[in-house]
Structure 1
């Protein structure tokens, strides 16, 4: 139902309604609100795209087409009746398997949880629907969302659209691959050790880990959470553009419901868009950073400097220590039952890396666990001292180019080395800080990018700086769609 009086956002040249899957969430929302396109047209276009690419990529593992189309038709009726629709009106979004969607299984990639049916939407899903988003499906994740690789014995492997030989990331690998493949402009993700930022990195999309507590995370299907999940885990969007990440964050964080961890913190500050001092980290003590990643950091730094930011090389609080604190806290909690639960699945693909991660962590007494939590508080203070002088940090997302499949299936020593190269992800997470991955280009045919980190609840500062980097480097996804239509390679 393309109208004659199209809004500016919907005037891009398209082949027809089936090309709507290429549009950004911002474009879709504006056009649906103005009546230039229908929500039904958008959903049908995205499902047509899924039919073309999902059999190869396997990012969306459950779709309720009739429910999504019914939601889209309801939005169109409301608009036609003169109602004002939300900012994500008609925007297709996908939801990770580890949060509750009413009437669907919250399996979290676990074959033993296929009957764990949610009775109601989680807070983040309710918030997205309230903004007008249409849930088009559920994205794949490893069992218990506990790998940087996404596969499980129920749904199989999610492939990276750039190359079948490298990981699609984890644990929000299905989310990252879906967005990169054109199956919805916005995907929901969770992040306790990089599970948003790493899939964003390897799939060439934007990934925002919000501050812990910014977005409600309570799940009725899993109401009891240990300290690590309460204080370290966070949620956020994976998108193709910074502008869509901003829209998604505003929707996801709008209400906390009954979540005891949610913080009603303001989103915007007067200095969000003002140039500031940036700490550049392109070398890490004791860890080699790939040359291509160092070059990406320098290129991003140059973009910020051109926009008036003052960039200086500064050492961070010890990233390896941050990773080790993560290990001490999270793996201590895993020993309380998760290791046995993983073994009950009977799949070495998940049990091997989880047990190896546990072997890399000290087996702490209660006092040792308490000391680790106290040390975490000390590390957070160190970051806050750094932020006083440098309110923005530019650093690697990972110290390596995208990992080959099964790089976590080796020995304990190999796992220890892997944890080191992923320490930029884990150190940010253990402190509950917000982190943003921004793509910058390709290296050896694979996505490349950088991570921005800011003080707690300063996501808008991250997004403004990320938009500057994005403007200087462009987006990667159009290259994927145009140059590799039969992905993966």
Structure 2
């Protein structure tokens, strides 16, 4: 399943001292700081992560392509730059990261989990990868996805299944399942992901890591192997970051959002606002229309609410407008576009799992017609105005990431009726995407031996408000991220 070039590449000489044995447990922020001050070298760190990948990836199958010599060369160049011109180092200088398999890395196949794309070699980097390179990151490898990055379950006929390090019968999430598992199990310091319906936040939830879906347009999304993007993809999809800690996610965001003129949807918006860390009114969403919240989910919300209240936030039980309507809008837009393009490719692929999942989801959507598509977009505009007014009263939302505990494998393969239940359970994820909002999953601890956590949501381009609140929840949460590494 995993393709790794040069697995036995000879060790390169390191300029720094003895590398601590637990470096793969460090976050990206600490690694960057230690490389910057000369305590460790990028080559040493890269080799340590290669060893970690050798130890755990054969079982988990999160990283499905890695060119080790290329990564070591990037690390050598990072160390040489530090020696020659340290003032030119970026914020991720020498830090090992992974890239999701659905965006372009120059010279590598952007397979997106589809056998027909096995030889689709990217002629150049996508804009987000170019930003990571400019920040000095070392690309360790590519993380696994479901076919077309379109399930909450990461498995495909080209690269196989990615396992959850906590419990193998539970999904690793999707579509950024490989990214979340790589971060959780210490195979990278930072992982790139994408999110159109929860594809960063849900894998973060089930694997126990932090996952940020920025506002669409914050991070550039264009890449050379994709020439056409339907409107739903432009409006709903976001490039983001996963890591084991909040401060590392913020560091990754700053690197990914740096430039993006090649993407017409990219917006050079400020990241920092004076009141980012100010305690504000919080709407605690512990009721979802026509959907039952699992006890584990309510417990996580209560825990997070207590943490925020202790820090001066005013938490009130409030339901924002139209979460259920936002789900219907998402279905009407995205599934109409799927029928126009992706569905024929799914059918040609002849993989029973992805075909069953997509057909069941399509059965939950309105009939494929222009009127339904245009009406959904018009309704979205009205609902976005209502949410903007809601954010004036409640600048921060504390809500479920998912309405249920992490799912077993194959929950989306049981027909349209079960799919409708699944979509309702995931409506907090989908609503945020349908309204083009930023969302952040932050872990709160373990419930029945599985990760639990909450989602924070704010107005467009207020990611820092999410991150500052998440620091408070993270500070009070049960310290468990290393447990996933131990289990792996």
Same fold by TM-score greater than 0.5: yes
Aligned to 1:11: none
Checking the alignment, whether the CA contact within 8 Å between 2:446 and 2:478 is kept in structure 1 is no
Checking the alignment, whether the CA contact within 8 Å between 1:175 and 1:188 is kept in structure 2 is yes
Partner-residue secondary structure (3-state), 1:335 = helix
2:396 matches 1:395: no
Aligned to 2:154: 150
Partner deviation per Cα, 1:394-447 (whole Å, 9 max, x = no partner): 000000000000011101100011000000000000011000000001111110
Aligned to 1:10: none
Q: Return the offset for 1:477.
A: 1.5
Going from structure 1 to structure 2, the CA distance change for 1:133 and 1:474 (only over 3 Å counts) comes to farther
Aligned to 1:451: 455
Checking the alignment, whether the CA contact within 8 Å between 1:205 and 1:476 is kept in structure 2 is no
Taking the aligned partners of 1:167 and 1:317, their CA distance within structure 2 comes to 30
Checking the alignment, whether the CA contact within 8 Å between 2:206 and 2:406 is kept in structure 1 is yes
Partner deviation per Cα, 1:164-191 (whole Å, 9 max, x = no partner): 0100000000000000110002100000
Aligned to 1:360: 364
Taking the aligned partners of 2:327 and 2:462, their CA distance within structure 1 comes to 23
Matches within 5 A, 1:207-286: 207-286=211-290
Partner deviation per Cα, 1:52-97 (whole Å, 9 max, x = no partner): 0000000000001000000000110111124221111111100000
Going from structure 1 to structure 2, the CA distance change for 1:83 and 1:56 (only over 3 Å counts) comes to same
Aligned to 1:297: 301
From 273, 288, 309, the equivalent of 2:292 is 288
2:70 matches 1:67: yes
Checking the alignment, whether the CA contact within 8 Å between 1:213 and 1:262 is kept in structure 2 is yes
Partner-residue secondary structure (3-state), 1:63 = strand
Partner-residue secondary structure (3-state), 1:408 = helix
From 182, 188, 192, the equivalent of 2:186 is 182
Aligned to 2:419: 415
Structure 2 unaligned blocks of 5 or more: 1-13
Q: How many pairs were matched up?
A: 474
Aligned to 1:125: 129
Taking the aligned partners of 2:479 and 2:419, their CA distance within structure 1 comes to 32
2:340 matches 1:336: yes
Partner-residue secondary structure (3-state), 1:257 = coil
Partner-residue secondary structure (3-state), 2:86 = coil
2:102 matches 1:92: no
Aligned to 1:351: 355
Aligned to 2:199: 195
Aligned to 1:9: none
Partner-residue secondary structure (3-state), 2:139 = strand
Checking the alignment, whether the CA contact within 8 Å between 2:19 and 2:44 is kept in structure 1 is no
Aligned to 1:320: 324
Q: Return the offset for 1:453.
A: 0.1
Q: Return the offset for 1:3.
A: 5.7
| Structure-2-length-normalised TM-score | 0.96
Q: Return the offset for 1:235.
A: 1.0
From 83, 105, 111, the equivalent of 1:80 is 83
Going from structure 1 to structure 2, the CA distance change for 1:135 and 1:475 (only over 3 Å counts) comes to farther
Q: Return the offset for 1:474.
A: 4.3
Partner-residue secondary structure (3-state), 2:141 = strand
Aligned to 1:166: 170
Structure 1 unaligned blocks of 5 or more: 5-14
Taking the aligned partners of 2:387 and 2:266, their CA distance within structure 1 comes to 22
Checking the alignment, whether the CA contact within 8 Å between 1:180 and 1:477 is kept in structure 2 is yes
Partner-residue secondary structure (3-state), 2:340 = coil
2:38 matches 1:48: no
Partner deviation per Cα, 1:91-113 (whole Å, 9 max, x = no partner): 11000000000000111111100
Q: Return the offset for 1:2.
A: 8.0
Aligned to 2:11: none
Q: Return the offset for 1:38.
A: 0.2
Matches within 5 A, 1:27-38: 27-38=30-41
Taking the aligned partners of 2:184 and 2:291, their CA distance within structure 1 comes to 30
